[in-house]
């Protein structure tokens, strides 16, 4: 298939590009490089020995997106592009609604105009909020409680309405849990700009000497060791889930929702200790106050993805941290080096 990846130069997009190219698909990446580097795509080509097409541009440029869809004979879109920092979204919500929601509307209009009606969308476990009880099931109520999460909820609703209005659409909503790790080659990985918001990138930067110490956000939660529990999954497993979802849509119309997680939770301290094992020495850390908005513990019930897609996460926490560390150690300054 000819597949367009919006935001394909980013962390999850670049790993998915590897899996798609290795499965024999042709890949076109549309990315504005606002939070990604084109170097990631050069390395995707190096890893796979195959070439891809890169277009620098904005999803909000509907005419450009239509041209790309037509010129490359695109069969399916995997839509990663969007802003993703929870804290920032509470400060500049309009930016989040413009890029994430209006950007998706523009993309969908371009797809409709060019008769491309297959889309796999990057949603998030964050849509469940506090109403659901772990393990989260796709049918549980959604209750996102920050602007970032609400953009994901709105986009899920838009796609559901679009699918209901016209049965030619084939739509997958993938609710990611906590993606970590890197391609085992160490050539591509997560390269956050500024201070990392997320746990594993932060630990990795402490381990490589870019930051002094990890602050563990609270150890007085009602969990086995008092720190928050999340469902971390390897980015290569996540990438594989996208390709399986896209393949499923080739035979199934309608709107489908799948959780992508391992189905088991790990605490902040477990992740830290796994990372220390990978590095071979202790990583400086201290316990600080809770981070506002954090939920004590959640993880996926990913059995629907197993039933429908034959997808199951295969990689352990130790493989995630070892691969993440290999990438960080070989690229201490990310793609900028």
Q: Which residues belong to the active site?
A: 148
Cβ burial of 115 (10 Å; 0-12, 13-18, 19+) is exposed
Cα dist. 180→136, 232, 239, 249 in Å?
19, 6, 11, 26
Q: How far apart are CA 291 and CA 228, in angstroms?
A: 10
Return the exposure string of 186-222: e unless at least 16 CB atoms fall within 10 Å of the residue's CB, then b. bbbbbbbeeebebbbbbbbbbbbeebeebebbbbebe
Residue among 257, 282, 126 at smallest CA distance from 203: 282
Residue among 82, 101, 80, 79 at smallest CA distance from 150: 101
Beta bridge partners of 286: 215
Interface with ligand UFG (CB under 6 A), residue from 70, 291, 306, 312: 291
Interface with ligand UFG (CB under 6 A), residue from 45, 88, 138, 217: 217
Residue among 8, 2, 16 at smallest CA distance from 116: 2
Segment near ligand UFG (CB under 6 A); pick from 4-12, 53-61, 90-98, 191-199: 191-199
Q: How many residues lie near ligand UFG (CB under 6 A)?
A: 19
The minimum distance between CB 86 and ligand UFG, in angstroms, equals 5
Q: Does the protein bind ligand UFG through residue 215 (CB under 6 A)? A: yes
For ligand UFG, the closer of residues 54 and 327 by Cβ is 327
3-state secondary structure 103-171: HHHHHHHHHHHCCCCEEEEEEEHHHHCCCCCCCECCCCCCCCCCHHHHHHHHHHHHHHHHHHHCCCCEE
Specify the residue for token string 């209750």.
143
For ligand UFG, the closer of residues 74 and 86 by Cβ is 86
Residue among 104, 90, 91, 85 at smallest CA distance from 153: 104
For ligand UFG, the closer of residues 61 and 276 by Cβ is 276
Interface with ligand UFG (CB under 6 A), residue from 294, 301, 308, 319: 294
Interface with ligand UFG (CB under 6 A), residue from 25, 84, 142, 234: 84
Interface with ligand UFG (CB under 6 A), residue from 202, 248, 258, 311: 202
Segment near ligand UFG (CB under 6 A); pick from 49-57, 163-171, 214-222, 235-243: 214-222
Residues 6+ apart with CB under 8 A from 194: none
Q: Does the protein bind ligand UFG through residue 199 (CB under 6 A)? A: yes
Q: Does the protein bind ligand UFG through residue 90 (CB under 6 A)? A: no
For ligand UFG, the closer of residues 217 and 335 by Cβ is 217
Interface with ligand UFG (CB under 6 A), residue from 17, 52, 245, 268: 268
The minimum distance between CB 124 and ligand UFG, in angstroms, equals 4
Q: Does the protein bind ligand UFG through residue 228 (CB under 6 A)? A: yes
The minimum distance between CB 194 and ligand UFG, in angstroms, equals 13
Are the C-beta atoms of residues 261 and 174 closer than 8 Å to each other? no
Q: Does the protein bind ligand UFG through residue 219 (CB under 6 A)? A: no
Are the C-beta atoms of residues 178 and 203 closer than 8 Å to each other? no
For ligand UFG, the closer of residues 169 and 298 by Cβ is 298
Interface with ligand UFG (CB under 6 A), residue from 197, 303, 304, 329: 197
DSSP letter at 70? H
Binding mask 106-145 for ligand UFG (x = CB under 6 A): ------------------x-x-------------------
Q: Which residues bind ligand UFG (CB under 6 A)?
A: 84, 86, 124, 126, 149, 178, 197-199, 202, 214-217, 228, 230, 268, 291, 294
């Amino acid at each position: 298939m000819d597949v367009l990846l919006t935001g394909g130069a980013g962390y999850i997009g670049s790993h998915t590009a590897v899996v798609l190219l290795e499965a024999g698909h042709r890949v076109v990446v549309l990315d504005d490089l606002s939070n990604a580097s084109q170097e990631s795509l050069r390395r995707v080509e190096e890893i796979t020995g195959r070439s891809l097409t890169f277009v620098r541009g904005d999803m909000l440029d509907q005419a450009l997106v239509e041209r790309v869809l037509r010129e490359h004979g695109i069969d399916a879109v995997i839509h990663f592009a969007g802003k993703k920092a929870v804290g920032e979204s509470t400060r500049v919500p309009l930016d989040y609604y413009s890029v994430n929601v209006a950007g998706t509307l523009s993309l969908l209009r371009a797809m409709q105009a060019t008769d491309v009606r297959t889309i796999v969308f990057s949603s998030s476990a964050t849509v469940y909020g506090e109403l659901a009880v772990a393990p989260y099931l796709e049918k549980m109520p959604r209750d996102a409680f920050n602007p970032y999460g609400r953009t994901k909820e709105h986009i899920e609703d838009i796609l559901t309405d679009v699918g209901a209005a016209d049965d030619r659409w084939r739509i997958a909503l993938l609710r990611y849990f906590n993606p970590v790790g890197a391609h085992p080659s160490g050539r591509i990985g997560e390269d956050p700009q500024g201070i990392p918001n997320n746990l594993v990138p932060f630990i990795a930067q402490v381990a490589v000497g870019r930051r002094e110490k990890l602050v563990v956000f609270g150890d007085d939660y009602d969990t086995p060791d008092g720190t928050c529990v999340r469902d971390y999954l390897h980015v290569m497993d996540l990438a594989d889930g996208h390709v399986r979802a896209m393949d499923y849509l080739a035979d199934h119309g309608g709107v489908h929702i799948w959780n992508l997680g391992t189905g088991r939770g790990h605490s902040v301290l477990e992740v830290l200790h796994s990372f220390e094992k990978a590095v071979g020495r202790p990583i400086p850390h201290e316990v600080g106050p809770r981070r506002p908005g954090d939920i004590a513990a959640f993880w996926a019930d990913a059995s629907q993805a197993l039933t429908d897609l034959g997808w199951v996460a295969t990689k352990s926490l130790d493989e995630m941290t070892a691969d993440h560390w290999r990438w960080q150690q070989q690229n201490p300054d990310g793609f900028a080096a």
